[in-house]
Chain A
Amino acid sequence: MAKSRVVIIRSSRTQGPRGLVPPSRIKTMLTRGFALLTDQSQTEAGLRTIFHEGEKIGVKINTLGGKKISTKPETSLALAETLVLGGHQKKNIILWDRTNRELKEAGYRLNTNGNDFRIFGTDTNGIQYGTQLVSHLNIGSLFSTIQTRYIQSSISLAILKDHGLAGVTGGMKNYYGAVHNPNKYHDFNCNPFVAEIFDSAPIKQKHKLTILDALTVQYHRGPSYHAQWADNYGAFIFSFDPVAADYIGWKIIEKLRAEKGLPSLEEEQREPVYLKTAARMGLGKNSDENITIREEEV
Chain B
Amino acid sequence: MKRRHFFRMLGGTGAVACSGISSYLSDLYAFQETANLSHVEARFYKKLEDREIECELCPRACRLGDKERGYCGVRENSGGTYYTLVYGKACSLNIDPIEKKPFFHFLPGQSTLSIATAGCNVNCKFCQNWEISQVRPEQIRHIDLPPASVAVNAEKYNCPIIAYTYSEPIVFFEYMVDTAKEALKKNIRNVVITGGYINQEPLQELVGVVDGIKVDLKAFSQEFYTKYVRGELKPILEAIKTIAKSDVWLEIVYLVIPTLNDSNDEIRQLSRWLKTEIGQDIPIHFSRFHPMYLMKNLPPTPLSTLVRIRDTAKEEGLHYVYIGNVPGHAAENTFCPKCQNIVIQRRGYEIKKIELVKGQCNFCRNPIPGIWS
Contact = CB atoms under 8 A, between A and B. Distances in A.
Interface of A: 64-66, 99, 123, 128-129, 131, 133, 135, 140, 164, 180-181, 183-184, 186-187, 221-226
Contacts of A128: 139
Interface in B90-126: 123, 125
Determine chain A's interface SS by DSSP, over half rule.
loop
- Kindly list the 8 A-B residue pairs having the minimum CB-CB distance in the complex, ordered from nearest: A224-B65, A224-B66, A140-B294, A183-B73, A184-B123, A135-B294, A183-B69, A183-B71
Contacts of B65: 164, 221-224
A224 B135 contact: no
Given A135-B294, A164-B63, A129 B70 contact: no
Given A181-B135, A184-B123, A64 B63 contact: no
B27 interface: no
A16 to B, nearest CB: 26
B51 interface: yes
A224 B69 CA distance: 12
B67 A133 contact: no
Interface residues of B, number: 24
Given A222-B65, A224-B51, A183 B294 contact: no
B280 interface: no
B139 A180 contact: yes
A186 B138 CA distance: 20
A64 B67 contact: yes
B135 A180 contact: yes
Contacts of B268: none
14 contacts: A133-B294, A140-B125, A140-B134, A164-B65, A181-B123, A181-B136, A183-B73, A184-B230, A221-B50, A221-B52, A222-B65, A223-B65, A224-B51, A224-B67
B68 interface: yes
B152 interface: no
A223 B68 contact: yes
Interface string B59-79: 000010111111111000000
Given A123-B138, A140-B123, A224-B67, 6 more contacts: A128-B139, A131-B1, A133-B293, A181-B134, A187-B230, A224-B66
Contacts of A64: 67
